[in-house]
Amino acid sequence: MSNKKPYNSYSDYFSKIFGGRVQKLTLDAGFTCPNRDGTKGVNGCIFCDNNAFNPSYCMPEKSITTQLLEGIEFHQKRYRRAVSYLAYFQAYSNTYADIETLREKYLEALGVPNVIGLVIGTRPDCITEEICKLLAELSKEKYVAVEIGIESIYDKTLQTVHRGHDFNEAVQALNLLKKYNLKTGGHFIFGLPDETPEDWMKALPIINKLPLDTIKFHQLQLIKNTEIEKLYQTQPERFFRMNMPEYIQFIVNFTEQLNPDFVIERFAGEVPPRYLSDANWGIIRYDLVLREIEAEFAKRESFQGKRYTI
């Protein structure tokens, strides 16, 4: 663990691997999702609005190369220290296409100067042996990580939010990726309907055993005009909402029991305020949330995994 931070930070992880700062560049490569094209469903997960998570330069009508070059230009102006980039296939399900389409898109991204690897966001039911073989081949030369939307370990919740897969499928997908020695990430949401902080703490022994390299946490952000926002308006009692100070207490408690080997990419989400309903934290930058989390660790003289038990 870094001697600077009380947790395994994503930036330190990349510094160790690449010896310098690496910036992820978000892409919309024009994929769809089985939960939207009718294979599993048509309306998607009840919290989904991909527009809210994409920077403005990400538009599928622009080529992958154009999006990456525009992303590099944007970041070079803002963060002059970044020297290398990872193409982050974020929007929708980025392993959901035939193998030749996938190969073409990934190779296009890897062909852009200074792009040293891929981070591919996808669903558990969009990982196959064939895809793993392609990614393993690419990973011989470049960094390749696959981030799986797990969201919850509870199947009842996954049904409520219409994920169209269960928790076991997430475990199977991660195991398959690891069989091919690929880097794995997992994403979880705290605040889905009918779940409580007690449920999230009870999930820890299961999460801690997952074959993950990196992990990302989000508080539930209610995006305007999504199904979950409508559900919240009609049945607010089904939601355990935390304000920011409460969330900070919770996430520090949680991280104290988290596997100390996991690299934490994010502790909380940040969506542009214009997408958010009023039932959120308002305009609070992630940097500020992170500072508050680090201050809480310092106050407790604590760190990731302090109370981790196998």
CB of 221 to ligand SF4, least distance (A): 12
Among 25, 27, 33, 220, binds ligand SF4 (CB under 6 A): 33
Residues 287, 307, 198, CA angle at the centre, nearest 5°? 75
Contact letters (x/-) for ligand SF4, 47-86, by CB under 6 A? -x-x------------------------------------
User: Tokens for 296?
Assistant: 């809480």
Contact letters (x/-) for ligand SF4, 120-159, by CB under 6 A? ---x-------------------------x----------
Establish if 203 lies at the interface with ligand SF4 (CB under 6 A): no
Nearer to ligand SF4, 36 or 218 (CB): 36
**Kind of pairing between the strands at 183-190 and 214-219:** parallel
Closest residue by Cα to residue 259 from 206, 182, 219? 206
CB of 193 to ligand SF4, least distance (A): 15
Helices 197-208 and 244-256: angle between axes, nearest 10 degrees: 30
Among 8, 9, 26, 35, binds ligand SF4 (CB under 6 A): 35
Closest residue by Cα to residue 302 from 234, 253, 268? 253
- DSSP helix/strand/coil, 214: strand
Nearer to ligand SF4, 24 or 123 (CB): 123
Residue 67 φ/ψ, nearest 5 degrees: -60, -40
Question: For residues 233 and 284, is the Cβ–Cβ distance under 8 A?
Answer: no
Query: What is the gyration radius of the CA atoms in the chain, in angstroms?
Result: 19
Among 14, 88, 92, 262, binds ligand SF4 (CB under 6 A): 92
Footprint on this chain of ligand SF4 (rule: CB under 6 A): 33, 35-36, 44-45, 48, 50, 92-93, 123, 149
